[in-house]
Structure 1
Amino acid sequence: MPSLPVELWLEVFRWATLTRSSHALYATKYCPFETSTAAVYHDYDEAKWTKRALSLVCKRWRAWTAPLLYEDIVLPLADLPLNRMLLGNDEHREDETAILPCAHWVRRVRLPYSSTIVNAPPPFPIEAVRVLESCYSVEVLVRTTDTLSPLAFEFDTGCPPLPSLKRLDWWHHNDAARTGGINSLPHVLKNAPNIEYLSIGGEMWPHFLNEPAVHLSHLSTLHLRRLNAFFVLQMSRWSLPSLQHVIFDQIQNADIYWPFWQSFGAQIRTVELGVSLKFYVHDFLPLVFSGCPKLEELNYHVLFTRVPRIDRPQESIATIGLHALSNGFFRVGSPEFWSHLRQHFEAFTKQTFPALRRIKLYGEWAAVANDGEFEHLAKPLHERGCVIEMA
């Protein structure tokens, strides 16, 4: 093996285990158009197997890659040696030193609801929660519904303090939420006061409207996946003084967000619309404009979104991000494609968007941007001093 400095090997291992979705998994700050959920899960498996393969080469490589191997875990731990390493013990083996605690390496934990079922009344602890509590450096917690089979939640649960947590990806589970603690979103948020990024989704039952109020002083990014009216109403009662960026994955009914606009619209500076033709079927952008009077940045997938109808000038919007993700509705290069794109560009006039200074193009725009038709569309914007650039 070539003699290289340890620091260089660590750098090589880090780059070898990064994927295009790595940033999306750990991001706590807003970044336009993060990787889609499907791509994230595919890349996660790829990175996981790469880490395991590197750790099996030799003892030295295992020691060097251990922080990478245990930075992202799923609870409960099916691998008993991993469990011992996380919690620590005093066992010695002939060929190795003592297994050292490695809970401090864990940065991201995926905690499916099947791992937080309580089969006996308190004070019997949940093993997965005990392991989570030992991971005192965890920054990202993911709660997912992992099975279609019914899960029985009968007894109350607890929730450990999570002061290091900066991001929470939460899918609401009504039966689980009845038991409180680690299964209840308000309880987890109360124990995680330093949350900066919150992703939520699910269909909430109406009796959860009586849950305690939530105050998150550091939350700046809110990612709304799929919510019903009760969830939106409950969320609208929260206190989020630092909220600035909101991402909508999809919408069921555009009108259910009025309580949200009334509570937080004046402080929102960035809105992003996801990959959903619901934003084409429903005229959602006018609701964004009326609900966010101080909006500075708007990002959306241009082929999935209806042409914005502007009732009054948008005085504060300085940046618009357009993603070129294609669909079967508008074939790239077809007359329908150019007509749709032209209507979007024509909406960005000086009268309707007087503060607009920049249009950023995300995704695969190269072929479109090299077409003479695109130059024709962009000319009026260039003439008014608006910069069009590739992101």
Structure 2
Amino acid sequence: MKTIKFLLILVVAFIFMGNVNAQTNLAAWHFDVLAAAPNTPKIIQADYGLQSNSATIYLDGTHGSSDWNSSTTNPELTSFGGSTTNDQRPSPNAGQSLALANSSANGKGLVFALSTENYENIKISYAYRATSAGFKIHRWFYSINGTDFIIIDSVSITRDASWHTLNIDFSNIAAIEDLSSLLLKVVVDSASSASGNNRIDNFYITGEEITPTDTIPPTLISAEAISDTQAKIAFSEPVDATAENVNNYSITLGVSSAVRLTGLDSVLLTFTQPLVPNTEYQLCASGIQDLAGNAMTSSQCDNIEWITTQPQDTIPPQPLNAWLENLSEVKVSFNEPVDASAENIANYTGINVATATRNTTLDTVTLTLTTPIPNATPTTMYVSNISDTAGNVNTNVYEFTLFMDTVVHTP
């Protein structure tokens, strides 16, 4: 009755898995315990997000980055106190921050390496604090090979020694979307002294999960009669108004109405004529479209049946008649089929029974006698303890008079 197409259900389930197009945190750096120069690391892995411990910042001259000096005196790379500005964690922590310093680093860049596979509309946000002599310009580039870097934005920095949040939207840069490997590079410029610096903290890279394009048409999963005039059809996914066109269904009785139910993935059909109980019908659907406009390419069918339960038999059988076929054979008829108890010779008394055999319809028993009935002599036979095929036993004793005259009398 219910033909489940497991493979198609599985495919459609993945296609329509919930996607609210929210920004997903791909990778983030908070620098909470970053060491100061000369121990500041030049390779820093993300500590938060989907790519925590895999997305990486490079400041060591590899992956297109510059080799930053982290000496004790006038370093270009060090660590200063951080901030909770732009810290999106449940429990923000100011901790430390990444500090880029010294006008000798003008034109130097650091590189963020990550994956944007299955993600689009890439955005970045970070907190910064710039001194009056610190870097004034942050230029952003991207590369897919680590050699060729293409500029995508240039940002002016507010140099007032206060913390600010910078949000940069790369949603219009399709070239950086859905890549297994992406390099984002920021080049700093226009610092004017060795002490001038920018602190960077709580750096986030986010993206929206790409929703696969639906190209798979709906399939009929099951059909089931819910009354003698209605059936419910289930589809593999939500369907559009074509599912309410009665001409898209076929059954010998005809369809008078079709109404989509809550969720739009099932339809209630009403027939023009009632289903005959306990009779199987073929119900077919065709031309149905999903919400993306993909139409069923062929007619798909399932069998339905309105099954009604017969009343339970609780009434025992009754013998209707008994008669002699000849003096050595008696037949006994019942009002319904009887079980094997009717072939137990002990249930027939008053005569000498050798065998008892039911007929093909189980409602008549033939008795063969070990001793013939005396001719032209009324003989009483008793029948009891016979059960029907439902197991109802009749313990009453029924009495029948047998008589046959085989002598031809002449006037």
TM-score, with normalisation over the residues of structure 2?
0.21
Which structure shows the bigger proportion of residues in helix conformation? 1
Larger radius of gyration: 2
Higher RCO (C-alpha under 8 Å, 6+ residues apart): 2
